[in-house]
């Protein structure tokens, strides 16, 4: 009877051990991907810095401040939130952080009698809002691990289109910023219209000697095709940050899962050993008892 208990415990330990192997593997994979994702964030920096500089110079130097991208709408009725979360779970509070922040904003908009639009990025984001009955715009997913520039471009073109068609009056990004391997924070950043501070500060003068820029075609036309690229670069940076954060969160979540599995195994082994000891003791008692009974019987017959 006691052996049954032992068998059950043994199989539980085996199953926890198998789970531990999986979580450990996921932890190691995530850890190695953090490094790669961080490098990707780094290598995207030159492009976004340069494009920012060009935009700044154009805005400061050109007469083209009337671009639709730069002027906040007078009445902001609809705000569009681009909620960037993961495609998969098992990454602790990563998805919940972004999604709750977005949902809070949406609820605040509804209370203020405004309309909202949610563009979910990542399957978890899509499912979360779909399940809760929010109206969704086109979802984008399938690339949260290692986003490509094309993905950012697709999202960028979509939201720029929404904005220019006046379906939305402003666009905000909600994502997890990767500060360091130990720190990530959920941030909400305005995307369109571009913030004044983001595009100001340029002196309109090219660096080095020489007069003002020569443009081909006109400064307005360049700005017109530059600003969508700028928006895409911003989205791309956000996607890369989100990917790095996702891996960091997953690594932490899987590390604590592995630690927890170890604790469970330790506890279960103890219980199992005790059960085994119990059953051994019982068996010995039975044998001793049986032997004694036999020898008592032998003694009787021997008389």
Residues that bind another protein (CB under 8 A): 40, 43-44, 46-48, 50-51, 54, 57-58, 148-149, 152-153, 206-217, 219, 221-222, 225-226, 229, 232-233, 236
Cβ neighbourhood burial of 281 (10 Å; 0-12, 13-18, 19+): exposed
What 3-state class would DSSP assign to 27? helix
| Helix or strand run (H / E) with residue 118 | strand 115-121
CB of 229 to another protein, least distance (A): 7
The SS3 of residue 159 is: helix
Please, which residue, 158 or 213, has the CB nearer to another protein?
Answer: 213
Decide if 269 contacts 13 (C-beta within 8 A). Answer: yes
- How far is the C-alpha of 210 from the C-alpha of 277, rounded, in Å? 90
Nearest-approach distance from CB 259 to another protein, in angstroms: 36
Task: Using the Cα atoms of residue 12, residue 17, residue 20 and residue 25 in order, give the sign of their dihedral.
Answer: negative
Tell me which residue of 260, 281, 279, 256 sits closest to 9, measured CA to CA.
279
Q: How far is the CB of 166 from another protein (least distance, A)?
A: 25
Among 44, 83, 91, 243, the active-site one is 91
Measured CA to CA, the distance from residue 245 to residue 227 in angstroms comes to 27
Residue 62 DSSP label: S
Q: What is the DSSP string of 162-197?
A: HHHTTS-SEEEEEEEEE-SSS-EEEEEEEEESPPHH
For residue 80, indicate whether it is catalytic: no
Contact 160, 192 (CB under 8 A): yes
State which residue, 217 or 296, has the beta carbon closest to another protein.
217
Comparison of 16 and 155: residue with beta carbon closer to another protein = 155
d(CA 97, CA 124): 12
Report which DSSP code applies to 133: T
Tokens of 37: 């994702």
Between residues 236 and 249, which has the closer beta carbon with respect to another protein? Answer: 236
Compare residues 132 and 205 and give the one whose CB is closer to another protein. 205
Q: Is 122 left (phi over 0), alpha (psi -120 to 50) or beta?
A: left
Closer residue to another protein in complex, CB, 209/302 = 209
Closest contact distance (angstroms) between CB of 224 and another protein is: 9
Residues identified as active-site: 91
């Amino acid at each position: 009877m006691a052996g049954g208990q032992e068998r059950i415990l043994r199989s539980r330990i085996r199953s926890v051990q198998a789970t531990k192997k999986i979580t450990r593997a996921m932890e190691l994979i995530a850890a190695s991907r953090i490094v790669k994702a961080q490098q990707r964030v780094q290598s995207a920096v030159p492009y976004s810095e340069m494009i920012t500089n060009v935009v700044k110079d154009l805005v400061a130097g050109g007469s083209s401040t009337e671009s639709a991208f730069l002027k906040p709408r007078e009445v902001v009725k609809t705000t569009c939130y681009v909620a960037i979360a993961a495609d998969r779970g098992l990454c602790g509070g990563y998805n919940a952080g972004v999604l709750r922040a977005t949902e809070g904003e949406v609820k605040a908009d509804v209370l203020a009698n405004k309309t909202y639009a949610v563009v979910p990025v990542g399957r978890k984001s899509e499912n979360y809002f779909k399940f809760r009955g929010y109206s969704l715009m086109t979802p984008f997913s399938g690339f949260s691990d290692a986003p490509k520039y094309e993905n950012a471009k697709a999202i960028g073109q979509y939201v720029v289109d929404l904005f220019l068609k006046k379906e939305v009056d402003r666009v905000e990004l909600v994502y997890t910023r990767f500060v360091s391997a130990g720190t990530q924070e959920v941030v909400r950043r305005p995307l369109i219209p571009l913030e004044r501070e983001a595009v100001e500060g340029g002196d309109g003068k090219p660096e080095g000697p020489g007069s003002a820029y020569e443009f081909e075609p006109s400064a307005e036309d360049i700005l017109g095709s530059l600003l969508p690229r700028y928006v895409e670069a911003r989205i791309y940076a956000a996607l890369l940050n989100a990917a790095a954060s996702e891996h960091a969160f997953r690594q932490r979540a899987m590390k604590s899962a592995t630690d927890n599995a170890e604790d469970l195994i330790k506890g279960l082994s103890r219980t199992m050993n005790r059960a085994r000891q119990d059953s051994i003791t019982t068996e010995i008692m039975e044998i001793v008892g049986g032997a004694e009974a036999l020898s008592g019987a032998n003694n009787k017959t021997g008389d």
